[in-house]
Amino acid sequence: MILACTALALRSQELGKTARYCNPLPMVMAEGSASGDVSVIEWKGNYYMYCTGGGAWVSPDLLNWEFHYVEHVPVAPDVAEYKGKFYMTGNDSHVWVADNPLGPFEILSEFKDKPDLKGGWSQGFDTKIYVDDDGQPYLFWPGMAISGIYSTALDPNDLSRFVGPVTHHFSFNPAHIWERQGEQNEFSDVAWIEGPWVYKHNGTYYLQYSASGTQWRTYAEGYYKSKHVQGPYTYAGNNPLLRRTDGVVTGPAHGCMITGPDGGIWQFYTIVLRSGGRRIGMDRVLVDANGDLSCKVTDTPQWAPGTVKDPSCGDSGSIIVSVGKVTNGSGGGTVRARAASSERPGRGAEYAVDNSTATWWEPEEGDAQPTLTLNLSPAVDRDRVQEFTIDGARLLFSQSGRGFGSRGGNAPVYQYRIEASKDGEHYTTVLDMSGNKVARNTIFDEIKPTACRYVRLVMLDWPKGSPLGILDFSVFGKPTGWSPSQTPVPPMVGEE
C-alpha cells in the first residue's frame, strides 16, 4: 500500500509546482505565549481561524491565510454560526454576537442558570457551542483540572441560557496514561482536561479534548465517540489522536476538526514551543472501517488540501536534511567561523539546526548581515560525499508579533536570501526574499529543486528593538547521489 501510494503521488504531483504546506503554519502568532487554542469555522467558501491573542485569519483553501483585526476576541475563542448570527465564547462567562464572522462583536449576555456543580463550572472555560443537524444548540465545556467534559442544551431563542439537564460525559482516567501530567506523564493522579470540540461524521459524534496541560511537551489530544450528541460517549481505543514529544512540532493539542475544501477532514492544533510561545499546526484525519480516527502529526512538507485524491498519500516525500549540519567536512568538528558569521555566547549556530525549539541561534548585535552556512554532507576521511536535492525551507523566529492582533500592533517582517553551492565556494541564490513585505514569524518557502552540498542563509532585515533569534532553520529535500568530485568513490566496508 505504501509503495502504491508513493507511486501515485509521484505521477500526480510535482515538486515546485503542486502546492504544499508545512507545520507550523506560516503566519504571525501574536503576543508570544498567548497564541494557540485554535478553532476554525467555514462560512460561504472561506475558513475563519480564531486563536488566543486576538484577531482572525481567513483562507479560501486552508493554505493561504490573511490576518483580519477583530475586537473582543477572548482567550480560547470559539465562534459558531446560528440562524444567521455568529456567537463567540471563550474563557469567560460572556456570549458575544455579530452579523459577520469578523465582527464587530457585541456582548449578548452572560451565561444564565449556570449549574451548581463542584468543579463543573468556573466562569466559563474553553466553552464550545455546537449546533446539531436539527438546529438545536448545545454548550460543551471542561470543569477544572480532572473534572472532565460537560454539556447542556441551550435555549434556541437565547444562546446564553441553559435549558437542558447538564450531562457529565467523562472525567480524568488515570488508566489513560497520556492524560497524566509531567514530561513523562509521571504524575498519576494529576491532569488538566480542556479544549472540547465536537465534530460529526457519518452519523458519529466525535468529542475531542486535550490533556496533561500546555506546560508539558506531553500535551496531547484524544477523543470519545457516540451516536448521540449528548452521549453516552465511548473512549476510543486508539487514543491519543495527536501526540508528539520531540522535534519542532511538539505538544499538539487544543484544536478542532473541520471539513476542508477537498471534502476531507482536517485537524488543527496548538503547537507548544519548548522555548515558550505557541504556533498552529494542521494535518489530515483518516477514518477507518470502525469509525476510529487517525492523524499523523507532521513536521515536513505535505501536499495541500485538494492536491491528492487519496488522503493517505499526503506526504510529499521531502525530509529534513539539515539537522546538525554545521560542520566543515574535515574531521566532523563544529567550526563556528564557517557555520555562522557570528553568535552570542550560549546561542550558537548549532541551535538553529538541532530540530528543537528549546534553543536558538542569535548572532552578535553588530552583525548587520548575519549568515548561517550548512554542509549537508559533512564527510570525513573515507566517507562518501552525498549530494542532496533541496526543495524547501522553514524558518521559525523567536520574536513574537508583540501586540499583533490589536490596533497599532507591530507585525514582524523578515527579509532574507537562501543560497546553494556544490563546492562551498561558488553560491547561487535559490530563494530571494530581499523584498519581502509579508509579516510572518513562522515561514515555509518552496525552493526550485536544486542539487547541492552547501546551503547558506543570509539575513538582510528583521524587526529591530530585540535581538534576531532563529529557533529553527530546516532545509527539506532528499539525498540524490554521490558528488562527482569524489569519483572514483572508494568502496565501503564489505562492498565488492
Give the rounded percent of residues in the chain with a pLDDT score beyond 90. 71
Q: What tens digit of pLDDT does each residue of 297-349 get?
A: 999 999 999 999 888 899 999 999 999 998 543 334 443 335 899 999 999 99
- The pLDDT score that the predictor gives to residue 6 is 55
Which pLDDT band, with edges at 50, 70 and 90, does 419 fall under? Answer: very high
Q: What is the pLDDT of residues 453-495, one digit of tens each?
A: 999 999 999 988 888 999 999 999 999 987 655 544 444 344 3
Q: pLDDT by residue (tens digit) across 436-453? A: 998 888 999 999 999 999
Residue ranges of domains in the chain: 23-316, 336-486
Q: What is the mean pLDDT of residues 87-113?
A: 90
Q: With a cut of 80, say whether residue 170 has pLDDT above it.
A: yes
User: What pLDDT digit, counting tens, does each position of 6-40 carry?
Assistant: 555 445 789 989 999 999 998 876 544 347 899 99
For residues 415-434, give the mean pLDDT.
96
**Per-residue pLDDT at 329:** 38
Query: Is pLDDT larger for residue 112 or for residue 275?
Result: 275
| Confidence (pLDDT) at 120 | 54
Task: Note whether 123 and 114 are within 8 A (CB).
Answer: no
Report the 3 state secondary structure along the chain: CHHHHHHHHHHHCCCCCCCEECCCCCCCCECHHHCCCCEEEEECCEEEEECCCCCEEEECCCCCCEEECCCCCCCCCEEEEECCEEEEECCCCEEEEECCCCCCCEEEEECECCCCCCCCCCCCCCCEEEECCCCCEEEEEECCCCCCEEEEEEECCEEEEECCCCEEEECCCCCCHHHCECCCCCECCCCCCEEEEEEEECCEEEEEEEECCCCCCCCEEEEEEECCCCCCCEECCCCCCECCCCCCCCCCEEEEEEECCCCCEEEEEEEECCCCCEEEEEEEEEECCCCCEECCCCCCCEECCCCCCCHHHCECCCEECCCCCCECCCCCCECHHHHECCCECCECHHHHHCCCCCCCECCCCCCCCCEEEEECCCCCCCCCCEEEEEEEEEEEECCCECCCCCCCCCCCECEEEEEEECCCCCCEEEEEECCCCCECCEEEEEEEEEEECEEEEEEEECCCCCCCCEEEEEEEEEEEEECHHHCCCCCCCCCC
- What pLDDT shows up at residue 30? 54
CATH topology assigned to domain 23-316:
Tachylectin-2; Chain A (2.115.10)
405 confidence band (pLDDT: 50, 70, 90): low
- Predicted local distance difference test score (pLDDT) of residue 494: 41
Q: Bigger pLDDT: 48 or 34? A: 48
- With 60 as the cut, is the pLDDT of residue 133 above it? yes
* CATH entry, 336-486, from 2.60.40.10, 3.40.50.1370, 1.10.10.10, 2.60.120.260: 2.60.120.260
Q: What is the pLDDT of residue 35?
A: 79
Give the pLDDT score at 381: 53
Statement: residue 435 has pLDDT above 90:
yes
Q: Please report the pLDDT score of residue 411 as a whole number.
A: 72
| pLDDT tens digits for range 179-228 | 999 999 999 999 999 999 999 999 999 999 999 999 999 999 999 999 99
Span 342-391, pLDDT tens digits: 999 999 999 999 999 999 999 999 999 999 999 998 766 556 778 899 99
Q: What is the pLDDT of residue 124?
A: 74
| Least confident stretch, 72-76, 109-113, 130-134, 267-271 | 109-113
